[in-house]
A and B are shown apart, each in its own frame.
Chain A
Amino acid sequence: MNAELRPIKTAAETALSAAFAAQKAQLPGMASAREAAFKRFEAAGLPHRRVEDWKYTDLRALMREAKPLAPRPDAVALARAKNAGAAFAAVEGRRIVLVDGVFIPELSDLAALEPGLSIRSMALAAGDPAIAERLGHVVATDNVAVALNTAFMADGVVIDVAERAALTRPLHLVAFNSGGAPASVFTRSLATIGKGARAMLIESHEGAPGNDYQVNTALELTVGDEAHVDHVKITGEGAGALHVSSLMVAVGAHARFNEFLFTAGAAVVRNQLFVRFDGEGTVAGIRGATLLNGREHADTTLVADHVAGDCVAREVFKSVLDGESRGVFQGKIIVRPHAQKTDSKMAAHALLLSEEAEADSKPELEIFADDVQCGHGSTAGALDDDLLFYLKARGIPAKEAEALMIQAFVGEAIDGIEHAGLRDTLIDHVAAWLKKRS
């Protein structure tokens, strides 16, 4: 550690250093990658507002302390996890359950795996040189949150879907926090979807409102050529949680990729999404909806990097901000010199339901090719009084009229989800959020 460079360590930084020194020997595999990643963290420290990418989400200020690494879940914790993910019953997915960051096969639905599907524990796979070779390389980044994840990752899943395999059921990764003592959880997963395969991966993160915990989760996803992949991440953590998520996606040629980020709950959320288009002719939809209240803070940071040309990407993010909440959207489209005929458009819309709520939006275009169609738009505003009056004049009470308008606003993004059961479930989530609000 270089004392001249970073003289003042925060309590959280000090705790992380101590935890790494004390526990690195017990963490599974990848020892040299962990050391290197931790050095990266120690050099940079927790990202703060003077770091451009973290301008609106000052993790150093928001993360007062680092909770101790979560212990392996005991019988009580596992019992609490019995119904984890039940809110998504309509999806009829294959449950893959992580409790406090640990993959629990007994709670997971691993029977009769479809041909070409393999699901393994990351803790076990991390020692495998073939996995170590892939990890951290899907979309390489020096992002500090990812570095911390690499240093501390304890478990997660490794999912492989073979070429041409078509999964009939969605995979539903349930990341459950069991409560108990304050803890931090680091999970890392790797999903590789082969050429021409079809898969849907749903990730739901949940915990009880009173739980005091921190989550740093990362997923590296490879979408093969001609594959059709949907990834949907639902961040429904408990009200006290701090949740940092990194999603690294490499998409091949002539693929279809749909991403959806649904965020409601948690005190602080940072969802980072690094998507790289490696092959031509791919069509992608990257969407999200965020619902915040109270003093909640949620940040969506997206980088869509077009290395290959001739791809169509649509990004639509909607946030509904009530109370004193703060919604951040940072979106960058990069078009590399050879990525001609790229058609990438990004829109971020915020609906402010209170005077105290704040929306920050930072769209960026970095375009190095000349024959492209790229653009971005962002808006922030209140509900339209004239539309509300029209609804009220028909007998709909003010709160209900607002709810209808909010559902319509968010619905524009949710409608992009192809799976009907999941779409309905998320619409129910929005309705539940609205009910809690009134």
Chain B
Amino acid sequence: MALLEIKNLHVSVDGKQILNGLDLVVENGQVAAIMGPNGSGKSTLAHVLAGKADYEVTQGQVLFDGEDLLALAPDERAAKGVFLAFQYPLEIPGVATMTFLRTALNAQRKKRGQEELSAPDFNRRVFDAAGKLGIERDMLRRGVNVGFSGGEKKRNEVLQMALLEPRLCVLDETDSGLDIDALKVVSEGVNRLRAPNRAFVVITHYQRLLDHIVPDVVHVLSRGRIARTGGKELAHELEAQGYAQYQEAVAS
């Protein structure tokens, strides 16, 4: 069974139709890249998967491990293993990063019937994962993302992902805002998580990221649908030719 199966998904926001009958299958162990022009609906898809309330699903179905994902609250989806690395991670002043991470991890564990982690065990896991991503301990003491640079926020998203060990990782332009070295560190972080029972949906505008995180499949999202699917070479083709042909293809 596929890990994620999206069938004929229609989504609107504030009465505006954004996803128009999107079909997508992501297999366990797969890295699927999604590319597409600005405003085509990539972040919308990511948010719908995570369960953001503003998005209204008017038609279609999303199955996660065969289960109706859309029936679950966002925290339940997270506990089942859905993770969204936000395109624009938010700052939460007054909530210390460590508190945030511990609350999230323990809430998920509790929901899965696992025991809470002890403080030393938790700290060790965080410091290990943070060290690998080049995140200073001082940053973990601050409020969530408060005063973090754009690149630091993205690293923090990957830190959360590493810690929460999700089944489906949706990365929404995690490469934007990263310098060349950070791109490498973050990509290595993602690659370390690749596993047979885990899948990735990598949303990006740039072939460059896909040199580091090599996808099994590339989808082109245009005007709210998957307009084409191909192998990793499709990303190179898009880089050379742009999206003009897909925009027309869907329009006609």
Residues of A within 8 A of B (CB): 385-387, 389-398, 400-401, 404-405, 407-409, 411-412
Is the beta-carbon distance between B107 and A395 smaller than 8 angstroms?
A: yes
A-B contacts, 11 of them at CB < 8 A, read A389-B53, A393-B51, A393-B74, A393-B78, A395-B78, A395-B108, A397-B75, A397-B107, A405-B92, A408-B93, A408-B95
| CB within 8 Å: A-B pair count | 75
Closest residue of A by beta carbon distance from B81: A395
Interface centre among A386, A392, A394, A398 (most CB of B within 10 A): A394
Closest residue of A by beta carbon distance from B112: A395
Write the nearest CB–CB distance from A434 to chain B, whole angstroms.
13
Asked if B117 is at the interface (CB within 8 A of a chain A CB), the reply is no
Overall SS of chain A's interface: helix
Is the beta-carbon distance between A394 and B90 smaller than 8 angstroms?
A: no
Give B49-104 interface residues, CB cut-off 8 Å to A: 50-53, 73-75, 77-79, 83-84, 86, 89-90, 92-95, 99-100, 103-104
- B contact residues, total (Cβ < 8 Å): 30
Among B52, B73, B111, B164, the residue within 8 A (CB) of A394 is: B164
Q: Which residues of A contact B86 (CB under 8 A)?
A: 390, 393
Given A389-B74, A404-B99: A394 and B160 interface contact (C-beta under 8 Å): yes
Is the beta-carbon distance between A394 and B104 smaller than 8 angstroms?
A: yes
Q: Which residues of B contact A393 (CB under 8 A)?
A: 50-52, 74-75, 77-78, 83-84, 86
Give B94-145 interface residues, CB cut-off 8 Å to A: 94-95, 99-100, 103-105, 107-108, 111, 143
Write the nearest CB–CB distance from A390 to chain B, whole angstroms.
5
Is the beta-carbon distance between B51 and A394 smaller than 8 angstroms?
A: no
Interface centre among A387, A394, A395 (most CB of B within 10 A): A395
How far is A156 from B99 in the complex, measured between Cα atoms in Å?
A: 42
Closest residue of B by beta carbon distance from A412: B94
Is the beta-carbon distance between B164 and A390 smaller than 8 angstroms?
A: no
Closest residue of A by beta carbon distance from B88: A386
Is the beta-carbon distance between A392 and B92 smaller than 8 angstroms?
A: no
Closest residue of B by beta carbon distance from A410: B94
Q: Which residues of A contact B99 (CB under 8 A)?
A: 404
Is the beta-carbon distance between B95 and A405 smaller than 8 angstroms?
A: yes
Among B73, B90, B95, B111, the residue within 8 A (CB) of A398 is: B73
Q: Which residues of A contact B79 (CB under 8 A)?
A: 395
How far is A396 from B53 in the complex, measured between Cα atoms in Å?
A: 16
Given A395-B79, A404-B95, A408-B93: A385 and B53 interface contact (C-beta under 8 Å): yes
Is the beta-carbon distance between A411 and B94 smaller than 8 angstroms?
A: yes
Is the beta-carbon distance between B52 and A389 smaller than 8 angstroms?
A: yes
Is the beta-carbon distance between B92 and A408 smaller than 8 angstroms?
A: yes
Among A398, A404, A409, A412, the residue within 8 A (CB) of B103 is: A404
Given A389-B52, A389-B74, A400-B107: A394 and B92 interface contact (C-beta under 8 Å): no
Interface centre among A393, A396, A397, A407 (most CB of B within 10 A): A393
Q: Which residues of B contact A394 (CB under 8 A)?
A: 75, 78, 100, 104, 160, 164
Write the nearest CB–CB distance from B159 to chain A, whole angstroms.
12
Q: Which residues of B contact A386 (CB under 8 A)?
A: 90
Closest residue of A by beta carbon distance from B49: A393
Q: Which residues of A contact B90 (CB under 8 A)?
A: 386-387, 390
Is the beta-carbon distance between A390 and B107 smaller than 8 angstroms?
A: no
Closest residue of B by beta carbon distance from A389: B52
Given contacts A395-B78, A395-B111, A411-B94, 10 further A-B pairs with CB under 8 A are A389-B53, A389-B74, A390-B92, A393-B52, A393-B74, A393-B83, A394-B160, A395-B105, A397-B73, A408-B93
Write the nearest CB–CB distance from A397 to chain B, whole angstroms.
5
Is the beta-carbon distance between A407 and B94 smaller than 8 angstroms?
A: yes
How far is A385 from B93 in the complex, measured between Cα atoms in Å?
A: 15
Interface centre among B79, B92, B143 (most CB of A within 10 A): B92
Write the nearest CB–CB distance from B71 to chain A, whole angstroms.
15
Q: Can you list the 7 inter-chain pairs with the closest CB atoms, starting with the nearest?
A: A408-B94, A395-B78, A395-B108, A394-B104, A392-B74, A392-B75, A393-B50
Write the nearest CB–CB distance from B131 to chain A, whole angstroms.
21
How far is A405 from B108 in the complex, measured between Cα atoms in Å?
A: 19
